[in-house]
Structure 1
Amino acid sequence: MTNSERFLATEGIHNFRDFGGWPVAGGGRVKRGLLFRSGHHVQASDADLVAIAALDIRTVIDLRGSSERERNPCRRVDGFDGEVLFYDGETSSAPPHMHTDPSTVVPGQARQRMIGVYTRMVRNPAMQTMFARYLRVLAEREGASLVHCFAGKDRTGVAATLLLHILGVLREDQIAEFMRTNAAPTLAVLREQSVPILEERLGRKLEEVEIRARLEVDEDYLATFFYEVEKDYGSLDTYLAEAIGVDEPLKERLRARFVT
């Protein structure tokens, strides 16, 4: 499956894709058609909703905090009778790419700011809770699922990485899936949702290098997450066990469901 084939053709949703299909250690592949990820659906078009309805998604995991959901309520498929899971509170003070604190006022600091996001995400109790809920619900509910945040790249990217690791996908392919965000054909959607607001808040035009640092991903972002995990816990598996509550029986259920 090519990059373009992995992305759902959408008009108002950024970065909607199937992140199955990766080979796993020992043989087999992650099933396709069950695991989807995206940005938020606040500007989903009617055509987008028709395309999503065909995927028969039964579970939506929304990694945004309460204020994000209130400001940007997602459109859902008419008649959707699945389950939408979310955190009752704040998972972040703002979408990671939308921060406008003093450390992001200088254009050259945007990339460093994003690295800081991945440093803190490891120890963020709200994100630990949502990662745990995501992984548990995947083992419990039938049908396809969708995990999303605002841009579908940072919080969602880490959630997808954790699942792929559990399923036995090699680290190099975890990184490749993370970086596939930069091939999304809908970057203009995220720009339109983000850049005007950022420029208004900052009182200046954003430089292109800053826009790319915020709206795209970088291998160093995920490498920072791995580094911080290994610094605190020694390994990603220990982090999953001690911080996220993923035991061996849960791993086995996930592999049974999603590896073919």
Structure 2
Amino acid sequence: MTSHDTSHDAGPRGSGTPTEAAAAVPAPEGAAVPGALDLPGTWNARDVGGRAVPIGHDEPLRTGVLLRTASLSRLTPAGQAALSDLGVTTVLDLRGDDELERDGADAVPGGVRVLRRGMDPAQGLQAGGGGGASADPAALIAGLLAADDPTAVARRMMHGVYATFVQDPGIRATVGRVLGEVASSDGAAVVHCSAGKDRTGWVVALAQYVAGVGEEDRRAEYLASRSAVGGLAALVPPIPGLSPDALAPVLTVEPEYLEAAWELAAREHGSVDGYLVACGVTTAVRDALVARLVAS
């Protein structure tokens, strides 16, 4: 697991072709996704604000503060212009080194600060013969090939990935750092990984929790990625000896992934608040995040 601080003003990357289907950009889904953003060259993009209302408040979370996407490595000039129009000043890239090498750096307009904050497990988790677990969908798929029951292994692998968000001290530190950087950004902040559903979903759920958003609304935001990533399965080429159904746990989000990790955080740290303390999230960071996200 890496958490490099490579702040830079990144322009469009070279035109290398990713070798993994999961790195491609799915066609837009027909059904509208709440809060969806039109950012050509990426997908699963939405503003976290504008829908969920924090408990005890009358207004939803502010828009233009926290955005979420899949990888920005293929963002087109039109997508970059849209990013500028949204007032984005900070991009927090949760991808690991292998993903960055495979897919390339984020293609963002000049003046946008890109912070590398890798959230891949420090060590591969062995899951019932399914190989090492990774938060990268392409790596997860590769890990299923030797499994006798790939669907069951895929679910265990996904639960294992989410467990590292709680148990890996390096990832905990990264989670805390990312939340602090969202809180201190002077413009809109984008949080993304490869597919924008698991690592990104975890960080966004925590940001919502700090802002006072209730469980049902946090779950709805997390599960909105089901519609947004629907095109991902169509991009994965047939894999000899592996049923398409076996990939389903990897290519979507399930409420039990989030709920089990949430319960694990509470169990191991006394509460989710205790987990946040273990992540290095101070009272000052929490207050700053609330000030940014919650309409006064």
TMscore range, shorter length = 0.7 to 0.9
Aligned-CA RMSD value: 2.4
* 1:13-28 alignment runs, 5 A limit: 13-21=42-50, 22-27=52-57, 28=59
* 1:240-255 alignment runs, 5 A limit: 240-241=276-277, 243-255=278-290
The answer to whether residue 259 in structure 2 is matched with residue 216 in structure 1 is: no
Distance 1:204 1:157 in 2: 31
Deviation at 1:139, TM superposition (A): 2.3
Distance 1:44 1:190 in 2: 21
Deviation at 1:7, TM superposition (A): 1.0
Residues 190-223 of structure 1, C-alpha deviations (whole Å, 9 max, x = no match): 752xx23x83xxx43442x323211110000001
Name the aligned partner's letter for residue 279 of structure 2.
I
Residues 130-151 of structure 1, C-alpha deviations (whole Å, 9 max, x = no match): 2111111122221100000111
Distance 2:193 2:158 in 1: 16
Which is further off, 45-54 or 22-31? Answer: 45-54
Q: 1:153 aligns with which of 197, 200, 203?
A: 197
Give the TM-score, by structure 1 length: 0.86
Residues 157-193 of structure 1, C-alpha deviations (whole Å, 9 max, x = no match): 0000111000000011111111110121x5325752x
Aligned CA distance change for structure 1 residues 12 and 134 (closer, same or farther; 3 Å): same
The answer to whether residue 62 in structure 2 is matched with residue 31 in structure 1 is: yes
Residues 220-243 of structure 1, C-alpha deviations (whole Å, 9 max, x = no match): 0001111211220121011101x1
Deviation at 1:90, TM superposition (A): 5.4
Which secondary structure does the structure 2 equivalent of 1:61 belong to?
strand
> Is there any run of 5+ residues in structure 1 with no aligned partner, and where?
none
Q: 1:227 aligns with which of 263, 272, 275?
A: 263
Q: 1:108 aligns with which of 130, 151, 159?
A: 151
Aligned residues: 249
Which secondary structure does the structure 2 equivalent of 1:14 belong to?
coil
Aligned CA distance change for structure 1 residues 176 and 253 (closer, same or farther; 3 Å): same
Which secondary structure does the structure 1 equivalent of 2:275 belong to?
helix
Distance 1:119 1:229 in 2: 9
Distance 2:66 2:76 in 1: 21
* 1:167-246 alignment runs, 5 A limit: 167-184=211-228, 187-188=230-231, 191-192=234-235, 195-196=236-237, 199=239, 203-207=240-244, 209-241=245-277, 243-246=278-281
Taking only the aligned residue pairs, the percentage that are identical comes to 31
The answer to whether residue 88 in structure 2 is matched with residue 57 in structure 1 is: yes
Distance 2:282 2:92 in 1: 21
> Is there any run of 5+ residues in structure 2 with no aligned partner, and where?
1-30, 125-133
Deviation at 1:254, TM superposition (A): 1.2
Which is further off, 162-171 or 97-106? Answer: 97-106
Aligned CA distance change for structure 1 residues 250 and 88 (closer, same or farther; 3 Å): closer
